[in-house]
Amino acid sequence: MENLGALALLLAFCISVYAIVASVAGRLKNKPFLTLSGERAVLAVWLLVTTASGLLVYSLLTGDFRMAYVATHTNRAMPLFYKFAAWWGGQEGSLLFWSWILSTYGAVVVLTNRNRQRAMMPWVLAVLSSIQLFFLTLNNFVVSPFQVLAVDKVITSVPDGQGLNPLLQYWAMVIHPPMLYLGYVGFAVPFAFAMAALISKAPGDSWIHTTRRWTLVTWLFQSTGVSLGSAWAYHVLGWGGYWMWDPVENASLLPWLAGTAFLHSVMMQEKKGMMKVWNMVLISTTFFLCIYGTFLTRSGIISSVHAFAESPIGKYFVSFLAIGIAATVWLILNRLDYLKSEAELESVVSRESSFLFNNLILLASCFAVLWGTMFPVISEKFTSEKISLDAVWFNRLMVPIGLFLLFLTGVGPLFAWRRTSIDSLRKNFQWPGIGMLIVVAALYAGGMRYAYSIISLGLCFFVAATIILEFFRGARAIGEKSGVGLLPAMVELTHRNTRRYGGYLVHMGIVLMFVGWSGHPFNQTTVGEVNKGGTMQVGSYTLKVEDLTQGETPDYIWDTAILQVSKNGKAIGTMEPTRRFYKSSQQATAEVALRSRLNEDLYINYATRDGDKATLQSYVFPLVSWIWIGVVTLIGGTLIALIPSKVARSYPRTEVVGFARKNAPVQA
Amino acid sequence: MHKYGKFAILMAIIVGSLLWLATAGIQSSQTYYKTISELQQMGNGAQNRHVRVGGDVQGKSIVHEGALVKFNLVQDKQILRVAYEGRDPLPDTFRDGAQALADGRLGPDGVFHASEIQAKCASKYAPKPGMAPDALQPKTGAPNAGTVTRSSL
């Protein structure tokens, strides 16, 4: 079994080499049969990596404890679901998982594009296969998942494995890595198309049109992955935090920030033919940050709560990144003339300018997060002292950045291309602006004193109002023409231009998340020991400890506190925070009790028990639910943006040349 | 060039204020990673720095005095006395022999006052690559458990 798996991986490695050579040679020498064989090789690689993955999964499911990977990541007591998830639970398996997703994407690219992008395809496949080759190198020669346990060269098995870290035995954590990986790996495809366009000097922006939907799906996976990680931290770790600027969290955020910048700036290229170099830089940055993120989570270069083991894969990743970045930079510099901009910036108050600042801010935040994450490594290089930066530092930078982005979210889409007239500014922003001032004044009068929260909520109102106004105006115009009601008119409106209105919904999701984050300064905490029968107060809630019970399952020992909860003296039911102690891994986990409402969450963690005394950590987290509502809205918006618009739209680019270019009339 | 001047000024303002945010007060956000011996060599300079220090919890050194928890951290035979009076209960993984990270400041009395403790059992998560999966040994009962090695194909 393990021999077959290893053989499949080895063959995949060889065929990847062939795919690169055949594609490049076939394209250069104009031998269609050779390029065709390159395409088939990519499909063969997919088949082989799938075989290897299937064999690994089969071993995991059947509990073949001769294999080191199976023995260290599963045990007999684990539910089948988690056994399957062990595929991406450890280093060897997750890198195989990476390879498998990449090979799948490669196969999909071949099947969907081979007849459309004849000229570019060989290059696309060569780039994809090179990336595949790197990961197959790791799979084959560095961290093979098919190693067996042996004593003095005699293969042995162990009676039971170590099991999966119980903290990770949670549904969101099971889907979180695949989502993130689908996102990480997905950016390889637009990157490959971008490089192929550069190499072959493909005319126009066909690489952008071809990969637009692809980029959006990838971005969707990544957004979902990052939010699931955040939700997992909130629900499982027991202290109610959803983001602590941990290096591994940052690793997932970095490509998301760069990818978000890319999604915005390609619009500039599609509609105005601007920022071509910039887009190349952005998609490359995003892709390399994806590789870097994999490296960061998998190499243990920076110690974090995620505590992945240190490993020898670090130097391979560094070499791959160095070579890849050098090649990309050389290629972009070499093709600068091909990337000439077709238009110029005209006014600070314009759509172009808002995109520009959106990009500047996203990239600046990306750099800040990267800098903060790498600070221990950087400081060790330059001062020989390893220094880390805490969450306070990240927040001091990222909160103002976030608020500025939120502001741009509101104004950007409503600025006109080229320049915006005073009239249009007034029409779009008068009422939302006045509303924002009223909200800010009301919050201040109501006794709120946290400047950032006030600004954030004010901006949330402003942006939400502009978005709703856009929907309302568009729908009313349709309604008046065709005589349908407002709601069907809104559906019709969205359907006519899914990209625009889906985008608005994504923005709305971001707004809702900001609403959730604004609640953070108002968190309330009570930590203390309570006797059986005693009470604890947190915010307006009173918790009475009815009973402390214990029990045991084959997997773990549990401890539950039964609490009678009342709010402002009115009983609202029982809550049962639980602690589990997993036998095989000798590790405890918290099963927090959570009462989620739109205004606030009551969050209780049963920390320890000492006889009849329980230590409880109780928290009130205002507005947290809005974060998750925002995430769902964002996902919905992205899905809508993926639906083809009912009215086929083409965006003819205005080419202004010569005399007219200098004196072109400015449309109001 | 006038309009580009405007862009340049705006960008300079944004980048400038971000740089200011990033550098102002960075000192208070810094945590120094130190070994126990490095910490003891730092002398008085150590007292006004926020430090993270790691080591193993010395066996039977954990003493509870009300909310205060005292224990010793050991690393390369160097011992550091630690006092923890943080708000949060100690993690379950914190016990004799566990690997622990303590964040805090060294007091003038030579006791390290920790505000935060992280601990992990030595064998959890993945074993160190290239080494035997240690945690297997006590449970496996495989012959010559001490010599279990992974052999690559």
First to last CA, chain A: 70
Contacts of B130 in chain A (CB under 8 A): 312
pLDDT of residue A604: 94
Q: CA-based angle B25:B29:B33, to the nearest 5?
A: 140
Q: Does B139 touch chain A (CB under 8 A)?
A: yes
Residue of A nearest to B137 (CA): A158
Cβ neighbours around A550 below 10 Å, total: 10
Q: Please give the sequence-ordered ranges of beta strands (E in DSSP) within A489-540, or none if there are none.
A: 524-531, 535-538
Q: Does B150 touch chain A (CB under 8 A)?
A: yes
Given the DSSP bridges, would you call strands B51-57 and B30-34 parallel, antiparallel or unpaired?
A: parallel
pLDDT of residue A352: 86
d(CA A197, CA A191): 10
Contacts of B148 in chain A (CB under 8 A): 149-151, 156
Let me know if residue B8 belongs to a domain.
no
pLDDT of residue A648: 62
pLDDT of residue B150: 29
Cβ under 8 Å to B: A residues 348-367: 348, 353, 356-357, 360-361, 364
Residues 6+ apart with CB under 8 A from A557: A550, A551, A580, A581, A583
Q: In the structure, what pLDDT confidence band is assigned to residue B138 with cuts at 50, 70 and 90?
A: very low
Q: Does A117 touch chain B (CB under 8 A)?
A: no
Domain boundaries, chain A: 1-163, 165-371, 421-519, 522-622
pLDDT of residue A203: 73
Bigger pLDDT: A240 or B112? B112
Residues 6+ apart with CB under 8 A from B119: B57, B90, B91, B93, B94, B95, B98, B99, B100, B101
Q: Best interface-test mutation with B: which of A65, A72, A358, A592 has the largest number of B CBs within 10 A?
A: A72
Phi, then psi, of B122 in degrees rounded to 5: -55, -35
Contacts of A274 in chain B (CB under 8 A): none
Contacts of A13 in chain B (CB under 8 A): none
Cβ under 8 Å to B: A residues 143-182: 143-144, 146-153, 155-156, 158-160, 162, 165
pLDDT of residue B121: 55
A272 is written with which tokens? 């105005």
**Minimum-distance CB partner of A151 among B11, B21, B148:** B148
Quote the minimal CA–CA distance from A150 to chain B in Å.
Answer: 6
Q: Does A323 touch chain B (CB under 8 A)?
A: no
Residue of B nearest to A2 (CA): B153
- At A110 the three-state DSSP class reads helix
d(CA A532, CA A526): 17
First to last CA, chain B: 66
- Inter-chain contact B150–A147, Cβ cutoff 8 Å? yes
d(CA A419, CA A235): 47
Residue of A nearest to B118 (CA): A305
Q: Does B75 touch chain A (CB under 8 A)?
A: no
CB A392 within 8 A of CB B29: yes
Q: In the structure, what pLDDT confidence band is assigned to residue B147 with cuts at 50, 70 and 90?
A: very low
Q: Does A395 touch chain B (CB under 8 A)?
A: no
**Minimum-distance CB partner of A400 among B21, B32, B143:** B21
d(CA A339, CA A483): 48
A28 is written with which tokens? 């250069």
CA-CA-CA-CA torsion sign (A654, A659, A661, A665): negative
The secondary structure element, H or E, covering residue A272 is helix A247-272
Q: Best interface-test mutation with B: which of A385, A523, A556 has the largest number of B CBs within 10 A?
A: A385
Quote the minimal CA–CA distance from B139 to chain A in Å.
Answer: 8
CA distances from A528 to A543, A566, A567, A612, A618 (A): 12, 18, 19, 14, 9
Q: Edge-to-edge, what's the strand order for the sheet holding A524-531?
A: A524-531, A613-622, A600-610, A593-596
pLDDT of residue A20: 96
- Inter-chain contact B139–A160, Cβ cutoff 8 Å? yes
Let me know if residue B145 belongs to a domain.
no
Residue stretches of chain A with pLDDT short of 50: 304-309, 652, 654-668
Give the DSSP letter string of A255-269.
HHHHHHHHHHHHHHH
Residues 6+ apart with CB under 8 A from A147: A2, A67, A68, A69, A92, B150, B151, B152, B153
d(CA A264, CA A255): 14
How far is residue B107 CA from its own chain's centroid?
Answer: 18
**Minimum-distance CB partner of B89 among A356, A581, A615:** A615
- Inter-chain contact A389–B26, Cβ cutoff 8 Å? yes
- Inter-chain contact A147–B148, Cβ cutoff 8 Å? no
Let me know if residue B81 belongs to a domain.
yes
Domain that holds residue B98: 30-122
Let me know if residue B64 belongs to a domain.
yes
CB A9 within 8 A of CB A144: yes
d(CA A453, CA A521): 8
Residues 6+ apart with CB under 8 A from A422: none
**Minimum-distance CB partner of B88 among A143, A376, A617:** A617
d(CA A38, CA A34): 6
Q: What is the ipTM of this complex?
A: 0.75
- CATH code at B108? 2.40.50.140
Quote the minimal CA–CA distance from B149 to chain A in Å.
Answer: 6
Structurally, how many domains does chain B consist of? Answer: 1
Let me know if residue B90 belongs to a domain.
yes
pLDDT of residue A649: 54
Q: In the structure, what pLDDT confidence band is assigned to residue B145 with cuts at 50, 70 and 90?
A: very low
d(CA B103, CA A459): 37
- At A436 the three-state DSSP class reads helix
Residue B40 burial (CB < 10 Å; 0-12/13-18/19+)? middle
Mean pLDDT of B92-110: 81
Q: Between A314-334 and A276-299, two packed helices, what is the crossing angle to 10 degrees?
A: 180
Q: Helix/strand/coil (H, E, C) string of B102-144?
A: EEEEECCCCCEEEEEEEEECCCCCCCCCCCCCCCHHHHHCCCC
d(CA B48, CA A413): 49
d(CA A265, CA A281): 11
Q: Which of A61, A54, A108 is nearest to A83 (CA)?
A: A61
Cβ under 8 Å to A: B residues 52-71: 52
Contacts of B11 in chain A (CB under 8 A): 357, 360
Residues B2-57 pLDDT 10s:
667 888 888 899 889 888 988 887 878 888 888 888 888 877 777 778 888 888 88
- Inter-chain contact B133–A392, Cβ cutoff 8 Å? no
Let me know if residue B6 belongs to a domain.
no
CB A106 within 8 A of CB A50: no
